Amino acid sequence: MMTSLRSWLELAHTSGINPRVAWERWSHLPDITALLALPRRQKGVVHSLEAEYRLVSEWLARDTRHHVLTWADDAYPALWRTLADPPPVVYVWGHLTTLAMQSIAVVGSRRATGEGLGLAREWSVALARAGLCVVSGLALGIDGEAHRATLDVSGATIAFLGGGLMRVHPRAHLALAQRIAAHGGAVASEFPLALSPSPGHFPRRNRLISGLSRGGLVVEAAERSGSLVTAHLAAEQGRDVFVIPGSVRSGQSSGCHRLIREGATLVSSPLDILSEWDMLPVSGVESVKKNTEDALDTHNWLMEEQILYSLMGPEAQSMAVLGGRLGWPEQKMIKFLLTLELKGVINRTFTGYQKVER
């Protein structure tokens, strides 16, 4: 076991062996010894194999939630095995079972607007409640909000880092990373444990975010946002790419509009994604289509649903306006707006929520 670990660390961090060549060889002959005999054309990222081996061994012994995954492990995600260059070693802090869940990447701007953060929270809550694992990059802005919103409803979330797990970045999200690892999620990285993040690491990180996911959702992104890199990687990997459009006057949405022009799927509700993936609950929109009268029988609704629905009209109102009229907190508004949307009696538009015309 220890000899095997040392060999995998050598392949991943000190050998300088081309990862694409190594993966192609492993796919035909899964033998770590044979891989280490391949030509070495570049320097590795770790100078001392023995020092790295001691560090990883100590890290593994420190916490039962610390794991090292390699190509040889059954728990290594199947979707990563479809990539041209999956990492030979991935460090995981948290729960391995989360990596086997059906996932969606939720990404967006680090400098998100209030509207963008609200959308990230609302959509992440809806997708998590539908049973999807929300995957993102722990960055400030949209990423962090997606992770927090998912945890707030006891959903599963995975954060990928652009540095080692002992160098959580940004430091402002260290507590969030700890919360993810402690509550059923996982924090993961292919980089050596003590390696600091650097700009060149993030495209590699992004390919794992998109690679682990069935599809990706871009919530808010400027023209040069790193989220566009993730979206393009997702498309190259054959994943679905969903985009929430924004105002044409907002530079924070220009990247989203560009993705839509390039062929990404425009979505205006979490239900659009769930419908695309055949994940709509039988008690939700499908039942409404079968029996509209039952859906409009408000006598069987909860009191909160009846009160909220009574305030709705043909003109769209924002969640903030509706919440202000009712004096309800954000979490309560998200819960009951989603419930009414699943019943098929309200629609979400670019400006808010409105009753469905019958």
Question: In 3D, which of 99, 76, 77, 272 has the Cα closest to residue 184?
Answer: 99
User: Do the Cβ atoms of 188 and 163 come closer than 8 Å?
Assistant: no
Q: For the domain bounded by 282-355, which CATH number is listed?
A: 1.10.10
Domain with CATH 1.10.10 in the chain: 282-355
C-alpha dist (Å) from residue 341 to 6, 183, 285:
53, 28, 8
What residue spans in the chain does CATH classification 3.40.50.450 cover? 97-276
pLDDT, tens only, 255-273 = 999 999 999 999 988 989 9
pLDDT digits 0-9 by tens, 180-213: 999 999 999 999 999 999 999 999 999 999 999 9
Asked whether residue 215 carries a pLDDT value surpassing 90, the answer given is yes
pLDDT tens-place string over residues 57-115: 999 999 999 999 999 999 999 999 999 999 999 999 999 999 999 999 999 999 999 88
pLDDT at residue 344 in the model: 81
Q: If you average pLDDT over residues 114-134, what whole number do you get?
A: 92
Which residue bears the tokens 């009268």?
293
Rounded to a whole number of angstroms, the CA Rg of the chain reads: 22
Question: Which pLDDT value is given to residue 294?
Answer: 45
Longest dimension (CA), the chain: 73
The pTM for the full model equals 0.80
Q: Where residue 287 falls among pLDDT bands split at 50, 70, 90?
A: very low
Q: Which of 178, 138, 179, 139 is nearest to 155 (CA)?
A: 179
Report the CATH fold assignment for 97-276.
Rossmann fold (3.40.50)
Instruction: Report CA torsion sign: 65, 68, 74, 79.
Output: positive
How high is the pLDDT of residue 297? 57
At 280, the pLDDT band (50, 70, 90 cuts) reads confident
pLDDT level of residue 3 (50, 70, 90 thresholds): low
CB 166 within 8 A of CB 157: no
Instruction: Tell me the three-class secondary structure of the chain, residue by residue.
Output: CHHHHHHHHHHHHHCCCCHHHHHHHHHHCCCHHHHHCCCCCCCCCCCCHHHHHHHHHHHHHHCCCEEEEECCCCCCCCCHHHCCCCCCEEEEEECHHHHHCCEEEEECCCCCCHHHHHHHHHHHHHHHHCCCEEEECCCCCHHHHHHHHHHHCCCCEEEECCCCCCCCCCHHHHHHHHHHHHCCCEEEECCCCCCCCCHHHHHHHHHHHHHHCCEEEECCCCCCCHHHHHHHHHHHCCCEEEECCCCCCCHHHHHHHHHHHCCCEECCCHHHHHHHCCCCCHHHHHHHHHCHHHHCCHHHCCHHHHHHHHHCCCCCECHHHHHHHHCCCHHHHHHHHHHHHHHCCEEECCCCEEECCC
Query: Residue 288's pLDDT is what?
Result: 36
Q: What is the pLDDT of residues 320-344, one digit of tens each?
A: 888 888 888 888 888 889 888 888 8
User: What pLDDT is attached to residue 298?
Assistant: 60
Write the CB contacts of 44 (distance below 8 Å, at least 6 apart in sequence): 13, 14, 15, 16
pLDDT in tens, 139-177: 999 999 999 999 998 999 999 999 999 999 999 999 999
Residue 2 is predicted with a pLDDT of 52
**Residue 10 confidence class, pLDDT cut points 50, 70, 90:** very high
Write the single-letter amino acid at 358: R
CA distance 146 to 157: 9
